A and B are shown apart, each in its own frame.
Chain A
């Protein structure tokens, strides 16, 4: 089977998709990503804006209605969930074979 061309996801994209399993606006995504990564991934505004723009174009996330007039709120799409799932499986496989390989030695 041909592999999904969007794989592997970058670390930042993976975290953004994970954060958007629940609706969030830009700054909240930034905070969630930092929290999910134990403070390892800190995204700057320009980088996050570009990433959101790109994910919208790919159809992995979508804007959803919100109370906030200034800030757009986003949520992951079915397509986004699918690719997140695929990348999760890809990494699971890597973890499994690495564990086996390292324990053997």
Chain B
């Protein structure tokens, strides 16, 4: 992106870029969370002292972005295969723990999962006397309630899919970890 004239500004929910002079830049990602603010500061200071500017990430975000700003800085933020692999291990654990939050939420709200609604979606509409109404009156009430009915009936799917996605990410990171460990053994 930087080579095409887009500079990474920050990363929150989305990546944010700024138009800039095209440049060859190196951005590396580490995965770490911090219990204390001073640990986070110390971490950022170490990278900045060694020529890597912290450009995005917070104490809790897990994902930390660093840009190489000193031409004398190391080519990578890791100098051995073991620590490079360790990053994937932390990422995998991070996703696994995150997925538990969604799993926990699913279990807590499992009473509100309407399996019968899949066969009979009418159960999801709460407006009294809806099905006896006719014409405009019916359609306006029906269309108004449909988004709510949808969330009521199938909202848990979104949570479930998020859980499944996080598990997938976790397994993927664990696989990356194993792969980088193997490379280390053969080199």
Contacts and interface: CB of A to CB of B under 8 A. Distances in A.
A42 B78 CA distance: 10
Given A43-B79, A50-B86, A71-B42, A27 B74 contact: no
A72 interface: yes
A43 B84 CA distance: 12
Contact of A70 (B41, B50, B83): B41
B49 A42 contact: no
A44 B78 contact: yes
A12 B82 CA distance: 12
A38 interface: no
Q: In this complex, which of B32, B38, B50 has the most chain A Cβ atoms within 10 angstroms of its Cβ?
A: B50
A44 B42 contact: no
A49 B47 CA distance: 9
Interface residues of A, number: 19
In this complex, the interface size class of chain B, counting residues with CB under 8 Å from chain A, is 20 to 34
B88 to A, nearest CB: 13
Given A26-B42, A70-B41, A71-B42, A44 B50 contact: yes
Contacts of B45: 25-27, 70-71
Contacts of A46: 28, 30, 47, 76-78, 83-84, 87
Interface in B32-73: 32, 38-39, 41-43, 45-47, 49-50, 52, 66
B46 A42 contact: no
Interface of A: 12, 25-27, 30, 42-51, 69-72
6 contacts: A46-B76, A47-B80, A70-B45, A71-B46, A71-B49, A72-B38
Interface of B: 28, 30, 32, 38-39, 41-43, 45-47, 49-50, 52, 66, 74, 76-80, 83-84, 86-87
Given A43-B79, A49-B43, 18 more contacts: A25-B42, A26-B42, A26-B49, A27-B45, A27-B50, A45-B52, A45-B66, A46-B28, A46-B77, A46-B84, A46-B87, A47-B77, A47-B79, A47-B80, A49-B47, A50-B83, A72-B38, A72-B39
